[in-house]
Amino acid sequence: MSVAVARYSELVQQAERFSAAAAGLQKLLAALESQREHLHGALTHLGNLLKAAGDGIPRLEEKITELTRQIEASVRHTSETLAAASTDLARNVQDSHSQMQRILTQSASDVHREVNSHVQQLSAQTKEQVVTLDRALSEELTKSIRTLGEHLTALSHRFVEDYRPLTESLRSLTHLAT
């Protein structure tokens, strides 16, 4: 009976470790959502900067560079957080696996297979989310660059239209002077 109580106690401890690992994944998902919101805000900010491009193109370039650095740092931080969480999760699962194998009977072995299945699902979902995030970032950056190009083209055309009469007047003056 005392052996059964001891094994049950160890099983409860293992369940607590898995709960902690699940809580860690929950925090990671919350952090990913926060990063997504931050990136959305940053891209919105970039859109606003593009609208105001007529006044300060040099300043706009600095802002775009700063925004690009922020996005890069955010993606790098998310990748590092994801790698650390994956490493911790893999280490925790491996430790739990070793202890459960020693303690449990055949039924514990079935539980272990189920846990590994959940970990693989979470890993696959995390990979999908990272791929989705990367794809979304790439698309938004492409859209932002394309929009910037369109605005700069429109600004250049407007500049040519505005200064063409002045240029023609200067040309006729120089012809008159010579």
Delineate the domains of the chain, giving CATH numbers in brackets. Answer: 2-50+57-177 (1.20.58)
Nearest to 21 by CA among 71, 95, 74, 77: 95
* pLDDT value at residue 146: 95
Q: Which pLDDT value is given to residue 175?
A: 86
User: Residue 44's pLDDT is what?
Assistant: 84
Give the model confidence (pLDDT) of 144-174 as tens digits.
999 999 999 998 899 888 888 888 888 888 8
pLDDT at 166: 84
Bigger pLDDT: 108 vs 15: 15
Q: pLDDT, tens digit, for every residue of 29-65?
A: 788 788 878 878 877 887 777 676 555 666 767 877 8
DSSP H/E element including 172:
helix 106-177
Q: What is the DSSP letter of 178?
A: -
DSSP for residue 1:
-
> Given pLDDT bands bounded at 50, 70 and 90, which one contains residue 112?
low
How many angstroms separate the Cα of 178 from the Cα of each of 25, 150, 165, 175? 79, 41, 20, 5
Q: How far apart are the first and last CA of the chain?
A: 115
Residues in the chain: 178
User: How far is residue 26's CA from residue 122's CA, in Å, rounded to a whole number?
Assistant: 11
Query: Which of 78, 80, 70, 51 has the alpha carbon at shortest distance from 141?
Result: 70
Residue 109 has pLDDT above 70, yes or no: no
pLDDT in the model for residue 106: 63
pLDDT at 125 over 90: yes
| Rounded Cα gap, residues 7 and 4, in angstroms | 5
